[in-house]
Amino acid sequence: MKHWRPEPLPSPVVDQELSHLTGIERAAEVLRFMVSRLEYALSPMGALREFAKMNIRLCISIAIPVMMVAPLVTMAITQCKAWVALLTETFSSFVLFPLSVVLSILLVCGLIYIGRSLLEMRMRTQRRDPYGY
């Protein structure tokens, strides 16, 4: 509340030299008068002006640190993303190589087992006499 100090607004008046101004200056003066009159109609005690000033100060005090820190944070996140991708690729290689070796060993063992089973079946069929002698 120490920053909230509204002051009453003066009543808006038209510049006395309005008729002697150029066209652009006259248009600017009329716009200034209309905005001043609207502001005075909405808040003659100056609360609206003080509210706008306080919010602009707050926005600036937040925006400046954000604008200075945001690029650094973005750069850090980008680097972190690159590091994670590199680590993922490396560890996947470490995991996939032993896994492929184990899979190859299991396939060879399976083929040997199937081959032995076929040989045993063939040996049993050769021992039997099909005519019963």
Q: What is the pLDDT of residues 55-76, one digit of tens each?
A: 999 999 999 989 999 999 999 9
Interatomic CA distance for residues 99 and 92, integer angstroms: 10
Interatomic CA distance for residues 8 and 4, integer angstroms: 13
List strand residue ranges (DSSP E) for 1-133, in order.
none
Interatomic CA distance for residues 68 and 80, integer angstroms: 20
Q: Cα Rg for the chain, rounded, in angstroms?
A: 44
pTM here is 0.46
Interatomic CA distance for residues 24 and 20, integer angstroms: 12
Q: What is the pLDDT of residues 4-13, one digit of tens each?
A: 778 788 888 8
